[in-house]
Structure 1
Amino acid sequence: MFPGAIADRETADYAVLGAPLDVSTTFQPGTRFGPERVRRFAHTFDDYDHHTDQFFTELAVHDAGDERAWDDAEEYLTFLEGTLSDLHAAGTVPLLVGGEHTVSVAGVRAADPDVFVCLDAHLDLRAEYDGNPLSHATATRHALEVADEAIVLGARTGSPEEWERASEADVTVVAPEDVAAWAPDFDSDREVYLSVDIDGADPGFAPGTGTMEPFGLTPREMRDVVRAVAPRATAFDVVEVNDRDDGQAASLAGKLLREFVYHHAASR
């Protein structure tokens, strides 16, 4: 259980759901261990948040466990979308913990947002990767099949075709050096999906991820984005944590999840 997620499902305002999909991760696989590690390395966190004057255990968070993954990504995403749609229908905000970034496709389809905001080292705008149209490198392109706009914060690499797609009007890319000055400026009536790919962080802070990319974001910069976007978001995910470090990536992921809950709840 995610520490502090003690609410019953029937009364929960938020629900942690693990999605340990690990079929297309490149370079360093292991995202199947992500949800378990995020839970484990969150045990050190205090219940009380001074910034919002709230206790995590009082914010009606439920841990719905993991949605067991299998090798057919398309079938799994359809199943996962159904589970997430049930949470939305019950008025519960999903907190999806990956798993590879492909699980965000199910999250976005279930939430049906206007804007997809993502912290990510990569553009993830490929039409396919190694012949796979449901690769983790295609997550943002798939999100744009649902959302009207994508904002990718911290991206620092991509193919020529991805950068060409990113130049279109429905995509905004904010370079790592500009993220600290970024603030949401979309209309208040637009629904937002917030996705955190842990590789958005510089690998010096979060080496436990599949495709490390230097010159990335600091944990504080990522925290500030989560705090700013959370009040406008209808769903959240954190993805691409694996077991290739001593817990740094998982700890950061768990802390960002809690920051989302604190600041979303404080805005209600």
Structure 2
Amino acid sequence: MLRHLIAAILTGGLLLLSAIAHNHEQAPLEGLSEDTSETWLNKYGKQIDQVFSGPLSFSHLPYSRCLEDISAQFDIAVLGMPFDTGVTYRPGARFGPYAIRSGSRRQRETRGYTLAWRNNPYEQGSKIIDCGDVPVSPFDNALAVDQMEVAYSTLLERPTIGQSLVPSLTRRFAKDGKEHPRIITLGGDHTIVLPILRSLYKVYGPVSVIHFDAHLDTWGSYPGQITEQSRVTHGTFFYLAQEEGLMTNTSIHAGIRCKLASMADIENDEAVGFQLVTSDDIDDLGVAEIIRRIRARVGDSPVYLSLDIDVIDPGLAPATGTPEAGGWTTREVKRVIRGLAGLNFVGADIVEVAPAYDNAEITGIAAADLVHDFLSMFLSQEPPKAPATRNTPRDEL
């Protein structure tokens, strides 16, 4: 008898819940029209992605597969090179372009103004797009290096839009007297700079390099390198570039702190064409003097900037293949970069971001912010004035 009573109660309860649900489904949601023809477009307008949604491109920029879309035009392109089989320690930088783009999600064109730079690089008249990644071979390094060179050269030869508010510098140095776009490359390990320098040489001849890194990357070889291709690594590419005549003798390192075999490594480095600024120099010389030395070294030559994320201390940017303790802070690196505005930049890269070793995307976010700095650096004719303080009148901002 008790069982029948319980079953009746349960059946009645289920019927009641079903009726409530049915009535809820039939009733229109509050504030929404019952017109079934209503669309998102006529109610909410253009589909604008949130900072955390939408396709993954750098800072939500327009995305194009530029290598196959010959109609894609730009003044500045962001290009991924997901190559990491030239490393000597931890692999994983093939996922660097993805990590940097993911770290850039909170950045976008409409909120690109910074007090530090006093500008928004997306409002300077230059067309900036994300050209996707070079589909590099993960099996054949010789093939991958050639693919990266061909890809970079392909984009470097595209006509520019030419509506920038900042006068073009590339025409002045190009062998053909034409204006060429500038490319910010997302690595990938540091080996990618060799095919990039080969491509730049075809257009500009030898260039000066400003190299932010914990390591020299000018070694001639490593033990076991017995074939020609095995010489091409993320620690030897500058030596090979010097052999090929791709760089001037006016290049400079910044942030060096790696272990060396002996002072012979420094003598070799000087022969390759570099001056040295160590990580400790920021304490002994100060940021202003480091900026002065870099600017004096490269002078009025065409300049390529290459930034290995390991120039930043691994406590602040752990996601890298060859971490070295005692690096610069993210703020210090950003400050030095601001001091380089107005040099004759023909391109830049950020490399060695390996997100498998990251935590809470801190390295990817830092790298993305530095790319934003590169854009402002390209599009500024001189270093910005000192940042505004709280007491600065609003009309002076």
Q: Which has the larger radius of gyration?
A: 2
* Range that drifts further, 180-189 or 104-113: 180-189
Unaligned runs of 5+ in 2: 1-56, 67-71, 159-179, 383-397
Does the 8 A contact of 1:4 with 1:47 survive in 2? Answer: no
Structure 1 portions without partners, runs of 5+: none
**Between Structure 1 and Structure 2, which shows a larger proportion of strand residues?**
1
- After superposition, give the CA deviation of every residue in 1:203-253 in whole Å (9 maximum; x if it has no partner): 111100001001111112211232233532100000000011122221111
Residues 26 and 104 (structure 1 numbering): CA distance in 2 closer, same or farther, change over 3 Å? same
Structure 1: 4+ residue segments shifted above 6 A: none
Specify the alignment match of 2:115 in structure 1.
50
SS at match of 2:275: strand
Residue of 248, 259, 279 corresponding to 1:148: 248
Confirm or deny: 8 A CA contact 2:341 2:380 kept in the other structure: no
SS of the aligned residue for 1:16 comes to: strand
Match of 2:145 among 71, 77, 83: 77
Compare 43-52 and 234-243 and name the one that shifted more: 43-52
Percent of pairs identical after alignment? 29
Change (3 A) 1:7 1:262: farther
- TM-superposition CA deviations, 1:30-49 (whole Å, max 9, x none): 10110000000111234322
Alpha carbons 1:35, 1:97 under 8 Å: kept: yes
| Aligned partner of 2:231 among 128, 133, 136 | 133
Bigger drift between 82-91 and 27-36 goes to: 82-91
User: How many residue pairs align between the two structures?
Assistant: 268
The residue matched to 1:176 in structure 2 has which SS? coil
Match of 1:245 in 2: 358
Matched, 1:22 2:84: yes
Aligned to 2:377: 263
- Letter matched to residue 61 of structure 1: I
Give secondary structure in 2 for the equivalent of 1:137: coil
Relative to 1, partners in 2 of residues 1:224 and 1:141: Cα closer, same or farther, differing over 3 Å?
A: farther
Ranked by relative contact order (alpha carbons within 8 Å, sequence separation 6 or more), the top structure is 1
**Residue aligned with 1:168, SS:** helix
Gap change, CA 1:83 and 1:115, over 3 Å in 2:
same
Can you list the C-alpha shifts for 1:99-137, whole angstroms capped at 9, x where unaligned? 000001111111234211100000111112241311111
Task: Quote the Cα distance in structure 2 between the aligned partners of 1:79 and 1:169.
Answer: 26
Q: Given the two structures, how large is their TM-score scaled by the length of structure 2?
A: 0.63
User: How far, CA to CA, are the matches of 1:231 and 1:73 in structure 2?
Assistant: 36
Secondary structure of the residue aligned to 1:229 is coil
The separation in 1 between residues aligned to 2:233 and 2:298, in whole angstroms, is: 31
Letter in 1 for 2:115: H
Matches of 1:129 and 1:239 in 2, distance apart?
A: 21
Could you tell me the TM-score, scaled by structure 1's length? 0.91
Q: CA separation of 1:143/1:117 partners in 2, compared to 1, >3 Å: closer, same or farther? A: farther
What is residue 117 of structure 1 aligned with on the other side? 210
Contact 1:122/1:156 (<8 A) preserved = yes
Matches of 1:186 and 1:155, distance apart in 2: 16
- In structure 1, the partner of 2:273 is 170
Q: How many Å apart are 1:6 and its aligned residue?
A: 2.5
Q: What is the alpha-carbon distance in structure 2 between the residues aligned to residue 186 and residue 88 of structure 1?
A: 26
Instruction: Give the Cα–Cα distance (whole angstroms) in 1 for the partners of residues 377 and 213 of structure 2.
Output: 21
Q: Cα deviation per residue 1:150-199 (whole Å; 9 max; x = unaligned)?
A: 31111112333422312438220111122422121146530011000011
